[in-house]
């Protein structure tokens, strides 16, 4: 009997169900003696032994369904070694659940924090395989994560729709796109949506450069400007501050988000009306796009193959359109940032996009 545990952890995104479907279909195509244990609400389900028995039938008809049939929760890695309010050792509890169910492997779908915890469990002796889930596309060791393209499609559609109202009213529109630490979604959506200014966490902006770009457009007869800004974008002045000083500054200013701070600065530097659009969690929701359905299915099938081969302690990633097994030790704790000198940045600048520098 092959016993597989599965959980989805961290923020939800499109194609989680499709990826799990790929794993189960891949395994069940080779073996009939399979038991599947679905842990509910991420690592919380593993900690408190909250699970449900699943069969291959539970994974039929979910290829196009967003969210996760198992539910999810955020369990910060830095809190994993800290006992809960009842004194429960979370790591020991997860190991106990794993061994109590006599699992052969734990399949974990998640992003950066999730992979830190998965690596920890692997070092504790559990057989773990992970799949790269995040709309941010910021996981080290893979060229692409599932959920990213779907989020880009939604953010791009938002920018597309803003064009008509921005043109009609001759306004500056700021579209705030998800991405606290990295700007992949904002970059791709900004280029695809024809944004005039794209602001990323990796490239601290100068408000005077942004104002000049807006004023130049107006002088050229282009009465509107669209700014795509990542929620983690930061000014050059703030980038020089320590984390402690920056936190104090943010608490004092109390802007709802970066878009509102930017809007106030732009309003002061130009004489144009400024409006804000925040698509927010819509970028995580809905049905996965065809690209993500294909990618997650391939990743899931490759994970099934690794399980059948008995190779654990790895993440299934993508390199040069091939599925690869990347050791968790190389993935955990590392982020894949946008390189300010990357070709896509230079090419975007050639088309007239300003990055505020």
Rounded CA separation 179/326 (Å): 24
Sequence-distant (6+) residues with CB within 8 A of 141 are: 132, 315, 317, 326, 330, 331, 334
- Name residue, tokens 């099938």: 301
Report the interhelical angle of 148-169 vs 184-193 (nearest 10°): 50
Residues with catalytic roles:
136
Contacts of 144 (CB under 8 A, 6+ apart): 132, 137, 295, 318
């Amino acid at each position: 009997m092959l016993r597989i545990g599965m959980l989805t952890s961290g923020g939800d995104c499109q194609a989680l169900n499709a990826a799990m479907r790929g794993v189960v279909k891949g395994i069940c195509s080779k073996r009939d003696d399979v038991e599947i244990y679905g842990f509910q609400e991420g690592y919380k389900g593993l900690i408190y032994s909250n699970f449900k028995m699943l069969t291959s039938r539970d994974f039929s008809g979910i290829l196009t369904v967003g969210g996760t049939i198992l539910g999810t929760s955020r369990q910060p890695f830095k809190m994993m070694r800290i006992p809960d309010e009842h004194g429960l050792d979370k790591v020991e509890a997860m190991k106990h659940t794993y061994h109590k169910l006599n699992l052969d492997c734990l399949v974990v779908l998640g992003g950066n924090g999730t992979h830190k915890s998965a690596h920890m469990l692997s070092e504790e002796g559990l057989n773990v395989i992970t799949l790269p889930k995040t709309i941010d596309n910021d996981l080290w060791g893979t060229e692409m994560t599932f959920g990213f393209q779907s989020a880009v499609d939604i953010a791009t559609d938002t920018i597309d729709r803003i064009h008509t109202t921005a043109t009609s009213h001759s306004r500056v529109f700021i579209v705030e796109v998800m991405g606290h630490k990295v700007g992949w979604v904002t970059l791709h959506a900004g280029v695809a949506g024809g944004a005039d200014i794209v602001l990323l966490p990796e490239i601290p902006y100068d408000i005077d450069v942004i104002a000049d770009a807006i004023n130049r457009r107006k002088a050229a007869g282009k009465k509107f400007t669209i700014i795509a800004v990542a929620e983690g974008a930061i000014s050059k002045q703030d980038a020089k501050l320590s984390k402690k000083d920056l936190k104090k500054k943010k608490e004092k200013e109390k802007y709802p988000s970066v878009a509102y701070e930017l809007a106030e600065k732009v309003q002061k530097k130009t004489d144009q009306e400024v409006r804000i659009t925040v698509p927010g969690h819509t970028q995580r929701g809905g049905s996965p796009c065809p690209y993500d359905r294909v990618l997650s299915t391939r990743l899931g099938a490759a994970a099934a193959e690794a399980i059948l081969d008995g190779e654990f302690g790895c993440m299934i990633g993508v390199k040069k359109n091939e599925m690869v097994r990347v050791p968790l030790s190389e993935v955990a704790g590392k982020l894949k940032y946008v390189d300010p000198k990357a070709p896509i940045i230079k090419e975007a600048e050639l088309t007239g996009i300003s990055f505020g520098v």
